[in-house]
Amino acid sequence: MKLNRINFWNLFTLFAFAILILFVLYPLLSLFKFSFVSPTTGKLTLEGYYIFLKDSLYRSSMINSLLISAVVTVGSIVIGMTMAFLVARYEFPFKSLVKILPLLTFVLPTVIVANSWILLMGRSGVLYQYISDLGIKIPTIYGWGGIIFILILQNYAYVFLMVSSAMGSIDASLEEAAKNLGSSPLRTYLTITFPVIAPSILASGLVVFTLAMENFGIPIFLGEDVPVLSVVAYKEFMREMGGDNQQMASTLSIILLMLTTIVLIIQKRIVEKKIYHMTSRRAPQPKTLRPLYQFIILGICLTIIVLSLSPVLITYFASFVKTRGPVMYFGEFSLQSYRTILNMAPRAIYNSFFLASLATLIGFIFATLVSYVLVRKKSKVSYVLDILATFPLAVAGTVMGIGLISSFNKGWLVLTGGWGIMMLAYFIRKVPFSIRACSSVLYSIKFSIEEASISLGVPPFKTFFKIIMPLMASGMIAGALLMWVTTLSEFSATIVLYSGEWSTMPIKIFHQVDSGDLGTASAYGSILITAILLPLLIVMKVFKIDVFSSK
């Protein structure tokens, strides 16, 4: 049976809208509704928002979230911009590694990062104890300082990636012309270079602000007396669970959603309207400095990279340490932690792989087709579809989880209590990565190739599968891999949605850390890190696919 391309793509567009409206907009609108419904009378009221403004805990959670996000944004811009400038303008040893290694922070699970720093700088942390034994007083990793420090290390790479790309697009002739006219290097940078990269700095900063605002994993581990919106909303939800009072959890979720959505809209407008386009694009050649200065630059970059990737090494090391309850005997090798998880609780490993694989498979198919609609079928409808498909990037995992449970725990479609709602949340939250990766490759495929195939008698639908999809292979693989690794590490939505036997590795790590069993938590973490990094390294090194090019 012949399929007409227009009919098929129109039908799929309707299907995509239906999926996104049902599982993205509907849960969020349900939260919005519950935030205005009185738990006692069932009537519309502003009581929830009045309580939010009146209660000091709720107010301070919003203020803390905004302050932490602002400080993390500034810190990430300073570090990321500095590294991008050094990499773009100077030659030094191991520069190729410095370009790649920071990007691995994109996929490091927050539960592993938090657990690793607790092992190092917690109250019983090995580094904290060592320094304390020397008579030096230092703060632990808990509280404001620890949250900000770790979030900067986790997010500076977004600035580094986007600013590096912007600096590579600068036309060297502009800077040369300024210098020939007598401009100093500093003035040239401030008047020529900085205005060109400023939109990328601002856009990446807003991305970092959003990620810091919605982050749940770091504050839940290290926050203690520092309440933030994502954690307070989760705790309120857990307190209200089982009753009919969903007002405060919904109210807090909506406030968090409004803040992240505003930032996402600003970021989208900046990207669309304020990017400079160069006509020549002959990038400035990196300078070769004296060896001493080269090693100083290398030392600065490696210090940042080692700090941000240290959780990987710490997790592997701690997983082989002998433990007894919360006590870890560093220096004594043991496989005890691995025996514990493999003999007593292997189900979490299976759950993580099963759910990640299923969500990735469905997302792979969905993203491939959606990306074609967005790139090849441009219209006002596709523009709205693009916004709706990428909107989950602005939704915190806890907010999405609370919304899904509020919408599908009773009524015409019940999904709570099993793996289905977890897989659905993973698909909704992670499919934007795959859509972006596929779309970025599809933009580079000339439409004339498709027209030539159709003019030779190949039906449009068959042309898509026979011609376009093979050319999209790199983007499809990159998108699927990003979905896989980020789904494996998903924590914020999972902790709201999981039940019974459907705990995952991040959930197990959280519970083990909470109970003081850091060795077992590290063993789960090492398996999770291996499952994330090994596929990435194979795809990037063996198949030469730049997984992070469209992140």
* CATH number assigned to the domain comprising residue 128: 1.10.3720.10
pLDDT number for residue 508: 94
Residues 92 and 201 both lie in one domain = yes
Burial annotation 27-39 (CB, 10 A radius, 16+ → b, else e): bbebbbebbbbeb
What number is the average pLDDT over the span 251-267? 90
Residues 231 and 371 both lie in one domain = no
Crossing angle for the helix pair 419-443 and 380-390, to the nearest 10 degrees: 130
Residue 259 maps to a domain: yes
Of the CA atoms within 13 Å of residue 508, those in its CB half-sphere come to 29
Residue 322 maps to a domain: no
* Residue where a domain stops, chosen among 269, 298, 316: 316
What number is the average pLDDT over the span 432-457? 88
pLDDT number for residue 178: 78
Residues 21 and 50 both lie in one domain = no
At residue 478, what are phi and psi to the nearest 5 degrees? -60, -45
Residues 12 and 49 both lie in one domain = no
Kindly tell me if the per-residue pLDDT of 447 is higher than 80: yes
Residue 407 maps to a domain: yes
pLDDT number for residue 550: 53
pLDDT band, residue 5 (cuts 50/70/90)? very low
What number is the average pLDDT over the span 215-227? 93
pLDDT band, residue 453 (cuts 50/70/90)? confident
Kindly tell me if the per-residue pLDDT of 443 is higher than 90: no
Kindly tell me if the per-residue pLDDT of 358 is higher than 90: yes
At 131-172, the pLDDT tens digits run 998 989 899 999 999 999 999 999 999 999 989 888 877 777
Report how far apart, in Å, the C-alpha atoms of 411 and of each of 21, 245, 406, 414, 416 are.
17, 17, 11, 6, 11
pLDDT number for residue 353: 96
Residue 325 maps to a domain: no
User: Are 156 and 79 contacting, i.e. CB atoms less than 8 angstroms apart?
Assistant: yes
What number is the average pLDDT over the span 90-112? 93
Query: Residue 153 and residue 72: Cα distance in Å, rounded?
Result: 9
User: Are 530 and 523 contacting, i.e. CB atoms less than 8 angstroms apart?
Assistant: no
Query: Residue 23 and residue 19: Cα distance in Å, rounded?
Result: 6
pLDDT band, residue 551 (cuts 50/70/90)? low
pLDDT number for residue 234: 94
The tokens for 361 are 């498979």
Residues 290 and 436 both lie in one domain = no
Kindly tell me if the per-residue pLDDT of 488 is higher than 60: yes
Query: Residue 209 and residue 193: Cα distance in Å, rounded?
Result: 24
Residues 131 and 262 both lie in one domain = yes
CA-nearest of 190, 197, 188 to 159 is 197
pLDDT band, residue 282 (cuts 50/70/90)? low
pLDDT number for residue 245: 58
Residue 156 maps to a domain: yes
Where is average pLDDT lowest: 382-391, 410-419, 541-550? Answer: 541-550
What number is the average pLDDT over the span 301-311? 96
Query: Residue 116 and residue 112: Cα distance in Å, rounded?
Result: 6
The tokens for 202 are 């601002």
Where is average pLDDT lowest: 39-48, 145-154, 256-265, 267-276? Answer: 267-276
Kindly tell me if the per-residue pLDDT of 278 is higher than 80: no
Residue 323 maps to a domain: no
Residues 439 and 508 both lie in one domain = yes
The tokens for 216 are 């749940």
pLDDT number for residue 1: 38
User: What is residue 134's DSSP assignment?
Assistant: T
Residues 73 and 173 both lie in one domain = yes
Residues 389 and 496 both lie in one domain = yes
pLDDT number for residue 3: 44
User: Are 284 and 175 contacting, i.e. CB atoms less than 8 angstroms apart?
Assistant: yes
pLDDT number for residue 171: 74
Residue 435 maps to a domain: yes
Q: 447 is in which domain, residue-wise?
A: 1-26+344-551
pLDDT: is 546 or 407 the higher one?
407
What number is the average pLDDT over the span 223-239? 92
The tokens for 371 are 């990306």
pLDDT: is 152 or 448 the higher one?
152
Query: Residue 479 and residue 413: Cα distance in Å, rounded?
Result: 30
pLDDT number for residue 51: 93
What number is the average pLDDT over the span 208-230? 94
Max mean pLDDT range (68-82, 117-131, 412-426): 68-82
Report how far apart, in Å, the C-alpha atoms of 338 and of each of 217, 326, 524 are.
24, 16, 8
| Single pTM value for the model | 0.91
Kindly tell me if the per-residue pLDDT of 424 is higher than 90: yes
pLDDT, mean over the chain: 89
H/E element, 420: helix 419-443
Residues 450 and 542 both lie in one domain = yes
Residues 39 and 6 both lie in one domain = no
Residue 331 maps to a domain: no
Number of domains in the chain: 2
Residues 74 and 106 both lie in one domain = yes
Of the CA atoms within 13 Å of residue 349, those in its CB half-sphere come to 19
State the virtual CA torsion across 61, 62, 64, 66 in degrees, nearest 10. 160
pLDDT number for residue 124: 84
Query: Residue 539 and residue 547: Cα distance in Å, rounded?
Result: 8
pLDDT band, residue 244 (cuts 50/70/90)? low
pLDDT number for residue 49: 94
